[in-house]
Amino acid sequence: MNDKEIRSLANQLKLSYGSIKQMPEPFQLVFCNPSEELEHSLERFGASNWFIQWRRGAVSVAKHFSPEELVYLSPDSPNVLEQMDPTKIYVIGGIVDKSRKKGASLNAATEAGITTVRLPIQEHFTERLDHILNVNTVVDVLINFRELGDWPRALDIALPQRKRSNIGRKAIRRRQKQQMLQTTCAETQSKGSACNVKQHLPNFNSTEPPESELSPIEDLSLWLDRD
């Protein structure tokens, strides 16, 4: 992650900690494998004085805890989180990546022998939401469900309205460009020239960015430990 992304992640972790502190019975929070840059960024918020655990020095979450007690939250998991098990440790990958490779967190967890689940976003909203969420948003959803026991309400409170749109701002711009190209192509064809729109358009059905834009998963993860 670059400096801007590290600062963004640090801010998300600060917001997560703030939300957890307000719980009547707070989750136990563990930060694992933070980079020096992230720790330095977190110090702007006084993180060394937070009531959290730090786990450093391992390349995998499974090196800190037994894989059997871990549950990794991945948006690509085929398993839906229905209830929170107080005997489990819930893992949230800490990465800010605008060009996320599909399945990266799922593959990493599977290789480590860790059970994966995803938030039940698709099951509780008729419109398709963007299920790639900030760390603090995921934490807020889990807090809301812990306190309310109701997924629709937990999601409705935590998710920003823009996350409920089936078409994000970038997608809107791409489709506007598509419409412009189609209009230009129609005008070209009306003049008797051939035009192949597909040669000029991005693949709107693709969920993965080009290889040159992919970023690796960072080693930092955030745990919502057992009560």
Give catalytic residue positions: 97
SS3 209: coil
Residue 227 and residue 20 in contact, taking contact as beta carbons nearer than 8 Å: no
**107 closest CA partner among 216, 222, 223:** 216
**93 closest CA partner among 212, 226, 227, 216:** 216
Residue 59 and residue 216 in contact, taking contact as beta carbons nearer than 8 Å: no
Which residues make Cβ contacts (< 8 Å) with residue 209, sequence separation at least 6?
A: 99, 100, 101
